[in-house]
A and B are shown apart, each in its own frame.
Chain A
Amino acid sequence: MRKSTQRSFTWRSITQSRLFFPLVALSLILLFDFIFIPGFFSIENRGGNLHGSLIDIFRNGSTVMLLAIGMTLVIATGGVDLSVGATMAIAASVAGILMNPSALRNEVFFVTDPTYTFQPLWVVIVSALLISILCGAWNGVLVAYMRIQPMVATLILMISGRGIAQLITNGLRVQITYKPYAFIGQGWIILPFSLYIVAFLFILTWFLTRKTAIGMFIESVGINFRSSYFSGIDEKKIKLLVYTFCGFCAGIAGLVASSNVRTSDASNIGLTTELDAILAVVIGGTAMSGGRFSLLASMIGALVMQAITQSMYAIGVPAFALQAIKAVVVIFVILLFSEQVRNFVQRISTRKKEV
């Protein structure tokens, strides 16, 4: 149909790749860091483990990266999950209580023994993850079977989830001092341990979506669920799956986050992270209306967000001004992806072809 020259084909395949925009964004930020922040790229070796600003980006961004993995799949089906922050808090509360149930007896018991835990670590982790899967499934049932709009359905858990998390810890902040648990967020094996968790989840999800038919079905349902229905795809089951999985990812993120701050703080853990996760996915090029997705692009999107945060800290911007900067980024991304700009780019690229 259309014959294109070798060169323009390569250029188009690069610019049209989903990774193009987020990678460009990331490179720009890193370039900025390289020029303006001395020592940003330095990596030191402390006792066999690598440290440095660059490593910190990965480490601090691991929560959002974990969330972005689950959120990508949800958004790809045309939905959204606003409750991931609340799910994180619930998971953290469950973990905290199982290690230190003193709050249930209404004592704020400062455990100073780092080897003390009420339940073995595996029980703690498994329970927290099971609860977060349950939260995800709740959302899934509301959206897929009750046909409630995703934003509305997940809003409910978003509002009440933190209350539930408080309920679990009886309203008190549980201190976490159990060393092995703290390793999740703070441990280092050459690279921060949380990175390995992210990598593992990423590989698992990649496998689930690209080595089985699930990825194709998710995209199909997001693009055109009627056509998918006629082709025999059970859209309800797909949606239930993605929301449950998103809950699972939020659970892992909650464990990492709470191990980082050594408390399970029901009112603050994961606050506004759902918005960061959604933005990461949008930067990664997945349309909010659903369809094609790329896990890698979303991860890069999360890194972009974190890199901005880190760079701003490094040049001395106070923590709270960061929000305004994020807003500017959002606006920039919106403009870039907006119809006008897309049409403009299209017109330019077609003109190029004609020449």
Chain B
Amino acid sequence: MLRPIGNFFSKNRNYIPVLATAFLALAAYGIGAYFFVGMRNPQVFFNLFRNSSFLLISGIGMTLVILTGGIDLSVSGVVALTTVTSAVLLREGWNPWGVILLVLAMGMTLGTIMGSFIVYLKVQPFIATLAGMWFARGMCFFISDNVVAIDDRIFQILGKTKILIPGLTELAIKQGNPAPYISIPVVVAFALLIIVIYVAHYTRLGRTIYAIGGNEGRNEQSARLMGLPVERTKMFVYTFNGFCSALAGLSFSLFVASGHGLYASGFELDVIASVVMGGTMLTGGAGYVFGTFFGVLVLAVTQALIQFIGTLSSWWTKIVIGVLTLVFIGVQTILANRKEGRQVTHALSPVRYRQRIIAFGMAALALIGIVFFSRFGSASQTETTANASCEIKPFREAEVARLITEGAAIVYNRTAGPQCVDELFAIYPDGRVTGNDGVNSVEQKVDPVEVEQALVQISDEYQWFTDAIYGRYLTPCRQCFAHYVSISYQGQEKTVSQVDGTASMPAGYTLTLAVIRSLLPEINPAP
């Protein structure tokens, strides 16, 4: 009985990396569902697709580029440019469908330009697409500096429409649960996937793409000698990826309902990682488009797992993705060498095979190390968590506003933290500093010049009153403080609220806090 399975695997050796990824994705989800009840909700599964539809769309285009042995780093720039352009044009009152067509055309144009650099000027894809990315991002800021919201009706419909899954709807209603749904971008992504799979495997164009990239790029010469239209095909691939990037950008803008030049930072790495994990080799010529689908799934599941675990921050995703990518490259090359070993290559094959095993081992070690480390890290976290399950007090917003009207220059309200404090400080231009924590209070005098200097620094150097400083409230982690800061200076007033330990805290804000704290007294004497 095992024989047919074994035969299946040896016949379809090419599929092994893809199947491995698929298995990994589903297994990870399964494990997650076992540990976290929340993940058993089918909507969570479908949300994986909703949240990563733009990644999939971009991944599909990138797969074709990588299959020809090239690479496209510009995707994140085009995505950002698409979001900004659509947001601004919609704000100006353009027809939404016109906007959609325009940005798609824009993406294709950029792709064509980069493609011609690569094909006709013989520039390395790396450099050409890097320039493309910089250019696209730069263009974003020529269009708009700030985040622009999208409130166009059509876009909102496109973004928020729930598409029910046939078959599961009745089942859910029977169980008394809301029917699971996906969104339009997901449908678009799947449609694109099917079309591209068809092209890749059932058209001459697709086969030419595979032919060009094979054998680590050496095939390009062979393909030319075989009479294939190499140049035309490469141009197509980059143009198409431009289209996909723009489409992904549209999908992303529907998702966040806004546009900004800083969006999708580092996106290209996620896309490349998905493609690699989907079994496509960066050297080209080998890989399956639907493998990218599973690669995207792995990324999505990883993200979901980390969210559910909660104590690990989102940056863990990056480490996990990096390690997984390494492991996959190792597996890919071991398999590739097994095939090569059949031919006459003296002395190199067994050595390379050994090297690949070492690579695989290193990756496994790294993975184990990280898991161990995280256990160790989270263990100490759980210890302190047990001690500090206190109640986080809300911000005293009304009081802060009152103090500002009464003339305070800086009012600083700090809550949460290990002991769930609730401290409110006010600093006045004449040097008076007051503070209380609901129980005790304190008052102190500092040099007014210092206060003035601090205000100048906060306002000019740290740009408190510009859009560079923004607030974002998240539930603070057990050990983190939350702050609510209101500053009034030279007729300008601004209140920003942030939480410690998040990646979203602007540098200027942190520095402002440091300056403020240097002026504050202790309410309780330090332990």
Contact = CB atoms under 8 A, between A and B. Distances in A.
A and B, one complex?
yes
Interface of A: 80, 105-108, 110, 112, 142, 145-149, 151-152, 155-164, 166-167, 170-173, 175, 177, 261-263, 265-268, 271, 275, 282, 288, 318, 320-328, 330-331, 334-335, 338-340
B132 A327 contact: yes
Contacts of A282: 127
B359 A142 contact: yes
B122 A152 contact: no
B521 interface: no
Contacts of B373: 167
Interface stretch (B32-40, B389-397, B498-506): B498-506
B322 A156 contact: yes
B95 interface: no
Contacts of A80: 126
Please classify the interface of chain A as helix (H, G, I), strand (E, B), loop, or mixed, using the class held by over half of its residues. Answer: helix
Please classify the interface of chain B as helix (H, G, I), strand (E, B), loop, or mixed, using the class held by over half of its residues. Answer: helix
Contacts of A318: 141, 145
Interface of B: 71, 117, 121-124, 126-128, 130-135, 137-142, 145, 261, 265, 269, 272-273, 276, 282-283, 313, 315-323, 325-326, 329, 333, 352, 355-356, 358-359, 373, 377, 381, 384, 417-418, 477-481, 500-501, 503, 505, 507, 510-511, 513-514, 517-518
A112 B269 contact: no
Contacts of A157: 322
Contact of B503 (A148, A267, A338): A267
10 contacts: A108-B500, A108-B501, A152-B329, A155-B269, A163-B318, A172-B500, A175-B514, A266-B315, A320-B137, A339-B121
Contacts of B276: 152
B359 A173 contact: no
Nearest to B123: A334
B141 A320 contact: yes
Contacts of B418: 106-107
Given A106-B478, A155-B269, A334-B131, A324 B139 contact: yes
A320 B145 contact: yes
B142 A148 contact: no
Contact of B134 (A105, A151, A263, A323): A323
A288 B410 CA distance: 54
A164 B318 CA distance: 8
A76 to B, nearest CB: 16
Nearest to A177: B514
A209 to B, nearest CB: 25
B134 A324 contact: yes
Contacts of A170: 377
A334 B117 contact: yes
A164 to B, nearest CB: 6
A327 B131 contact: yes
Nearest to A331: B131
B510 A175 contact: yes
